[in-house]
């Protein structure tokens, strides 16, 4: 349960699960009659997150991390709990508790449009949300800053980040991220000497491109007020908070604290290394993105990354809320040629498969994971990526079968986008996608 919640989904019969096996949520059950039951939770506030475990009677029951009484930091991000209490949560007043949710349907597509988690959660806590701007993000870490065909040495330096900003500006991409490397781990004020933050931010303002900063969660917690004040002073647009890896009461409360403190300074928040969404974004919509998904980063180190996973995600993880999968890889390979290469990653599948994710996967802060040099070689792809929205007014999923294929039509104002992904050839009957 010390976990990033980055799952490959396993198909099993409930009757074959052995006692002691446990799983994170959401979990999807399909009955013999074809009814889908998605099990999850909503309005997780000041409490521990829910997991499911199998007992001797082959029944699923809830388990949760107990309150941490003693901790030992191993490094800047990993905190080992050495002692836990015999209770799940400590509270000083009457209160409500998280909802236990079952979304039930005989149409798999209905899972994609299910809004129960949001509707059951704490209402909006902000008076002003006009400053919360969705958009796309040029990202440096996945592609290891491997820009080429330039007259400077690529890396964590001013020239490279200005190159990312220029690329983002050219294609109307709203943000870039400065991921790991901009500060010395453990101290958000020990800025990499190759970085002139003021100059990068000034170049971003000139080009109308916002800057989002990656931070380790514990370092941010240790330096919270002065760090966020500095980010606000710089004019940073958001923070990407990483490596929490737990969902006991204290860490769940951490999410709410960061959401509120960031909102005071008009900062977006993208949680990585995190537990599944459980309603926080309704209260604080500045929490615009969340990982908690086995996303494209796993192509950098894992050969077990297959398109079947991608056509399962919309029916399980995405039901909970937006997921920062970080699509957009332009170097693509089929099974026989795929290799996990950390510093020069490729993706399993096709470029069309990658492009379809931008209409398929719901995420208001959508990454472009590959490096600008690779995108510049793909003008057809960039014509699409520069125009595809990241928020939608209407969603219709006419064709859907868990783990096999999915088609989603999404409307932004008067424009419809259709994304389709499959693990193999599929013949579908014609259907009226666009309704008057």
Question: What residue spans of 67-210 are helical by DSSP H?
Answer: 108-112, 116-119, 158-170, 197-207
DSSP string, 355-411: HHHHHHS--SEEEE-S-HHHHHT-HHHHHHHTT--SS-SEEEEEEEETTTEEEEEEE
Question: Which SS3 state, helix, strand or coil, does residue 352 take?
Answer: helix
- Angle (nearest 5°) at CA 158 between 299 and 78: 45
Task: Compute CA distances 165 → 63, 151, 365, whole Å.
Answer: 46, 16, 16
By annotation, the residues acting in catalysis are: 242, 297
Q: What single string gives the DSSP state of each residue in 81-99? A: EEEE-SSS---SS----PE
Those residues with Cβ within 8 angstroms of residue 328's Cβ, 6 or more apart along the chain or in another chain: 296, 354, 357, 358, 367, 368, 369, 370, 375, 385
Tokens of 61: 């029951």
Specify the 3-state DSSP secondary structure of 347.
strand
For residue 262, whether the previous peptide bond is cis, meaning omega lies within 30 degrees of 0, is: no
Listed residue (34, 27, 14, 9) closest to 105, CA to CA: 34
Q: What token pair was written down for 401?
A: 């079968």
Please state, in angstroms and rounded to a whole number, the distance separating the CA atoms of residues 360 and 331.
20
Contact call for residues 313 and 306 (beta carbons, < 8 A)? no
Dihedral angle of Cα 45, 48, 54, 59, to the nearest 10 degrees? -40
């Amino acid at each position: 349960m010390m976990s990033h919640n980055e799952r490959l989904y396993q198909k099993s019969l409930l009757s074959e699960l052995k006692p002691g096996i446990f799983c994170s949520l959401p979990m999807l059950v399909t009955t013999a009659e074809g009814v889908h039951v998605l099990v999850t939770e909503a309005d997780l506030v000041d409490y521990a997150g829910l997991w499911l475990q199998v007992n001797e009677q082959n029944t699923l029951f809830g388990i949760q991390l107990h309150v941490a009484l003693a901790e030992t930091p191993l490094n800047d991000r990993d905190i080992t709990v050495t002692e836990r209490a015999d209770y799940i949560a400590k509270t000083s007043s009457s209160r409500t508790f998280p909802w236990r949710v079952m979304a039930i349907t005989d149409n798999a597509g209905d899972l994609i449009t299910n809004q129960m988690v949001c509707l059951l959660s704490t209402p909006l806590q902000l008076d002003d949300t006009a400053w919360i701007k969705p958009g796309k993000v040029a990202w440096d870490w996945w592609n290891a800053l491997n820009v080429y065909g330039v007259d400077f040495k690529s890396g964590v330096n001013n020239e490279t980040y200005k190159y990312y900003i220029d690329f983002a500006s050219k294609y109307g991409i709203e943000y870039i991220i400065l991921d790991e490397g901009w500060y010395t781990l453990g101290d958000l004020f020990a800025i990499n000497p190759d970085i002139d933050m003021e100059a990068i931010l000034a170049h971003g303002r000139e080009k109308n491109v916002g800057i989002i900063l990656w931070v380790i969660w514990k370092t941010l917690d240790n330096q919270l007020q002065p760090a966020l004040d500095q980010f606000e002073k710089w004019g940073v647009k958001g923070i990407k908070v990483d490596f929490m890896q737990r969902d006991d009461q204290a860490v769940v409360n951490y999410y709410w604290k960061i959401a509120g403190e960031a909102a005071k300074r008009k900062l977006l928040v993208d949680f990585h290394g995190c537990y599944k969404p459980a309603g926080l974004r309704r209260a604080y919509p500045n929490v615009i993105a969340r990982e908690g998904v086995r996303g494209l980063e796993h192509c950098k180190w894992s050969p077990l990354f297959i398109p079947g996973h991608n056509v399962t995600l919309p029916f399980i993880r995405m039901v909970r809320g937006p997921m920062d999968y970080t699509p957009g890889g332009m170097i693509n390979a089929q099974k026989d040629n795929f290799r996990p290469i950390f510093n020069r990653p490729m993706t399993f599948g096709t470029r069309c498969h990658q492009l379809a994710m931008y209409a398929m996967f719901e995420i208001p802060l959508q990454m472009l994971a590959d490096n600008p040099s690779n995108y510049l070689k793909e003008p057809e792809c960039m014509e699409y990526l520069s125009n595809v929205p990241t928020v939608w007014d209407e969603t219709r999923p006419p064709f859907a079968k868990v783990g096999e294929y999915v088609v989603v039509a999404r409307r932004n104002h008067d424009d419809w986008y259709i994304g389709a992904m499959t693990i193999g050839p599929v013949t579908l009957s014609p259907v009226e996608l666009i309704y008057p």
